[in-house]
Amino acid sequence: MQEHDRVRAVEWSGGVLRLLDQRRLPWEVTHVECRDAPATAEAIRAMVVRGAPAIGVTAAYGVVLAAADAYRRAGGQWRDAMTGDLETLREARPTAVNLAWALARMEVRAYAVAPDHDPVPELLSEAEAIHVEDIDANRRMGRSGASLINTGSGVLTHCNTGSLATGGFGTALGVIRTAWGDGRLTAVYADETRPWLQGSRLTAWELVTDGIPVDLIAEGAAPSLMRSGAVQWVIVGADRIAANGDVANKIGTYGLALAAHYHDVRFMVVAPTSTIDPETAAGADIPIEFREPDEVLFAGGKRIAPEGDGVGAWNPVFDVTPAEMVDVLVTERGVVHRPDAQGIEQLLG
């Protein structure tokens, strides 16, 4: 599968966090260098890096930068000195549970370091472990998900769930990569994914970079595509999964699930168990992030809506798909068919 896995969005080199600037793709391949935790938090907030697993990996490296700065400034009081930076990282993107999960794991490791020791080596080792584990988990999910797809199938995916959204290889796109390498797929379709166009800018770029052909569709075309019989699976990622199996993901996912349910197209969610939030009972309890109206009112830097105070925009970043519309949840620990509270509990247990 190596020939279909060339992209990496998050890199650590020489004490600097380098993030592939996904706002500039596909026109320009450039990196943003983060040398402290506030810069890392801003990169997450501004969507230089996006995708729940990639945000978690980035936040872990952000803790390393916070610790390095705190140790320089405060010596043996570095734990207290980094508290503000940790909170800044925590507030960068509230919906992606991987961010909070990664910060909690890094904090546990931080408290295992003696106060009079330099925390950076230990915390960097933990951040690198989170990064490597994510890639390994993605490969396991790719194999598990691909095994469910019959040869000759077409698939539709939404937003970006590949190497750009993770430590590497991808969740839903990792399944597609694996299935393509196995010769199971005849066609791959991707939604444009307004308003940030992650499908057209990122997924299409990533797939073509890795030698996998893709056809883009406008989101409104998805139900007709399903009715045509061209796709047998919709495969998406997740930003948070509630304890009952409800899935928060990029806005538009719920509509795809509705159309798939009507047209007897199977619906697969692919996400690591770190995306599951057992403390959140149901999708209604998941905080949904809203962003600036200009993201909807503009496209490519040009206003596409009428001028004037009378035109606004409702711009939620995520929606919630009820668990009963999910045919299969694929994680690194295993596959849950028709996920519900009992299935999630067994998976995590």
d(CA 207, CA 39): 29
Helix (H) or strand (E) holding 236: strand 233-236
Q: Measured at the alpha carbon of residue 219, what is the angle toward residues 213 and 224, in degrees to the nearest 5?
A: 85
Q: How many residues does the chain have?
A: 349
DSSP string, 71-96: HHHHGGGHHHHTHHHHHHHHTS-SS-
Other CB atoms within a 10 A radius of the CB of residue 34 amount to: 23
DSSP string, 202-235: IIHHHHHHTT---EEE-GGGHHHHHHTT--SEEE
Contact 185, 233 (CB under 8 A): no
**Which entry of 69, 85, 191, 239 is annotated as an active-site residue?**
239
- The residue behind tokens 């569709």 is 217
> CA of 271: how far to CAs of 20, 144, 173, in Å?
22, 12, 11
Whether 239 sits among the annotated catalytic residues: the reply is yes
Catalytic positions are 239
